[in-house]
Amino acid sequence: MAQLAKTAGSQVSGRLIQKLDMPHYVTYLGKGKLDELVHKRQSADWDLIIFDDELSPRQQTALEHVLKIKIIDRVALILDIFARHAHTREGKLQVELAQHQYLMPRLSGQWSHLERLGGGIGTRGPGESQLETDKRLIRNKISKLKKELREVRKHRMLYRDKRRRSGIPIVALVGYTNTGKSTLLNALSQAGVLAENKLFATLDPTTKRLTLPDLSTILLSDTVGFIRKLPTTLVEAFSATLEELTEATVLLHVVDMTSHNAAEQNAVVEGILGDLKLENKPRLTVLNKIDMLLGENESWDEAQALEFLSDMAGENDDTVLISAEKKWGLKKLTQKISEQVAQALKSDAEQPVLPP
């Protein structure tokens, strides 16, 4: 949560945690914790409080009334980050659609909500309240965005069909956000994609052609990073982008070896792949950032590092150790990709063709 806040440009000054069987239906926090937060608020110079869950409109209103401060939830924060990092037309449309779908149930007749999203003033019918006007404008905007996205997705489908007809295998990078997928794409293909130590530094998918050691050609595709509790509105808005994974011959699951939450992050990725019915897709697990496990004062070369860490990490046929930053282990990785792609294509060719 702190990483998300920093990525959005906030300076984190503190946190508060409460264990409850379920959140309070009005104030989210229990009375004692809410009183504690009110007390902290009186002696602190904050201008924002972020909750690591999706708040109901009622909860958000109640909290803002008690705390006298701007309140946002996890969904609003992630939407803000996505809005900053979307650059393609499709990406911008997807984020704007998710923003309006999030906003719709939270309208309270305050015109500032629409101003924040750049909405214009429409014609109000006779006897129509401000809230009804707001909702009508949002519904119209959502319909317009969905129509525009359908047109963009038609072009994506045509491009996808063209790739399919070309017969070039697709290898897709997947993983939790900030595990180094974009850095790996750059290291393998000189793609020049923005790679920063921030969550969702790159959002729009990128595909590059890559020649493997056996001289075969693949398309290497980077996808949006996953994250726990990914808002439903974003999953729906980015469904077309995530569907790109279904076209992949092999998935490269990039894991940050330095993360203390690696196991939880892996579970999130596995869960989303399961939701997309991709759990049985041929896959390589790529354990990244191994250079950071060796300590700042260690003068290891690539061969020494890989030999030492492969024993420690238990490397196997479906796992490869790399440092995308230092370009360690890429030779073995491309060899493994060649093997996995060849095996997957062979399996596909052996599948019986069912009569129409």
pTM of the prediction?
0.78
In this predicted structure, what is the pLDDT of residue 312? 63
Read off the pLDDT of residues 57-95 as tens digits, 9 standing for 90 and up. 899 989 999 998 889 999 999 888 888 877 778 888 888
d(CA 184, CA 221): 11
What is the average per-residue pLDDT within 21-37? 93
What is the average per-residue pLDDT within 320-342? 92
In this predicted structure, what is the pLDDT of residue 141? 93
Q: Is 152:97 a contact under the CB 8 Å cutoff?
A: no
Could you tell me the pLDDT band of residue 207, with boundaries at 50, 70 and 90? Answer: confident
Read off the pLDDT of residues 151-166 as tens digits, 9 standing for 90 and up. 888 887 787 777 777 7
Q: Comparing C-alpha atoms, which of 324, 320, 276, 294 is closest to residue 179?
A: 324
Q: Is 269:176 a contact under the CB 8 Å cutoff?
A: yes
Question: Is pLDDT above 60 for 201?
Answer: no
Q: Comparing C-alpha atoms, which of 262, 89, 73 is closest to residue 178?
A: 262
- Percent of the chain residues topping a pLDDT of 90: 29
In this predicted structure, what is the pLDDT of residue 284? 94
In this predicted structure, what is the pLDDT of residue 193? 55
In this predicted structure, what is the pLDDT of residue 121? 39
What is the average per-residue pLDDT within 232-237? 71
Name the more confident of 117 and 197: 197
Query: Which of 106-120, 124-138, 239-253 is predicted least confidently?
Result: 106-120
Name the more confident of 70 and 128: 70
Angle between helices 89-103 and 74-85 (to 10 degrees): 160
